[in-house]
Structure 1
Amino acid sequence: MSNTEVLPLLDPVDGQSVAPCCPPLTERPFTALEAETAAAMFKALGDPVRLRLFSAVASHEGGEACVCDISDVGVSQPTVSHHLKKLKEAGLLTSERRGTWVYYRVEPSVLSAMGRLLTGTSTGTGTGTSRPPA
């Protein structure tokens, strides 16, 4: 990722949802900032351990997971912490410390934004046009 500011899916300071980073891939070409934002998300998910951790959090009962429940991914605890930090930096996870444990959550808006980006489902914010079949 370059030194330019990238709009995360979640605000990394307080974890509050922000507008989805990017329009659907089929809506229009990305701006440089949108491409960098989407690339950061895909880069974070491009590591198999991170993808497993993200999936473990997203699919965990109650929509959140204690780090103690998702750490068995075949790497050391410091490495798990590193990967969770990268997922947070990409705006894909939020966390909350409760006593000695940290709980992670994938906000529904993140999954919605990811789905919208990949499926081409417009929410009325763009042109919503698509190419006719060839």
Structure 2
Amino acid sequence: MSNVKALPLLDTGTDGSVAPCCPPLTERPMTAAEAETAAKMFKALGDPVRLRLFSAVASHEGGEACVCDISDVGVSQPTVSHHLKKLKEAGLLTSERRGTWVFYRVEPSVLTAMGLILRTP
């Protein structure tokens, strides 16, 4: 990718409010930094295994899933870990270690930001 520093998917205001990094695609052309951020997110979701993992976490009861509950996607455990890492790097997942297991969560604000970027006027 380019040398443009990507913005976070969400910007947090001083009052704790959360706003998407990028305007809706129909509002105005994206800046280079906004496009870099959005592309990172879409690239991460462009892989079928990553999309399945993201969906499994997002739809899991309670909004979070243990890696042991979502790893049956037809690839080895190290490959699952690699894909989960890529989703985290794209800002789409957060994780927390509890004992020997890692639990993943999709923050609702991430889904909101994704929806806002793709919304129509």
Larger Rg: 1
Deviant stretches of 4+, over 3 Å:
none
TM-score, structure 2 length as denominator? 0.90
Q: If each structure's strand is expressed as a fraction of its own residues, which one has the higher value?
A: 2
Residue in 1 that maps onto 2:61 = 61
Flag structure 2 segments of 5+ consecutive residues without an equivalent. Answer: 12-16
How many corresponding residue pairs? 117
Using the aligned pairs only, state the percent identity: 89
SS of residue paired to 2:42: helix
Q: Distance in 1 between matches of 2:98 and 2:18?
A: 25
Distance 1:67 1:114 in 2: 23
Cα separation, 1, equivalents of 2:81 and 2:23: 31
- What secondary structure, in the 3-state scheme, does the structure 2 residue paired with 1:114 have? helix
Q: Partner of 1:51 in structure 2?
A: 51
CA RMSD of aligned residues (A): 1.8
With structure 1 as the length reference, what TM-score do the two structures score? Answer: 0.81
**Alignment correspondent of 1:127:** none
Q: What letter matches 1:73 in structure 2?
A: V
| Alpha-carbon separation, structure 2, partners of 1:23 and 1:114 | 10
Q: Report 1:68-79 matches (<5 A).
A: 68-79=68-79
- Retained in 1: the 8 A contact 2:64–2:106? yes
- Report whether the alignment pairs 1:19 with 2:16: no
Separation (CA, whole Å) in 2 of partners of 1:103 and 1:65: 5
8 A contact 2:66–2:104 mirrored in 1: yes
Q: Deviations over 1:6-32 (max 9, x none)?
A: 112259xxxxx9531111000100000
**Secondary structure in 1 matching 2:20:** coil
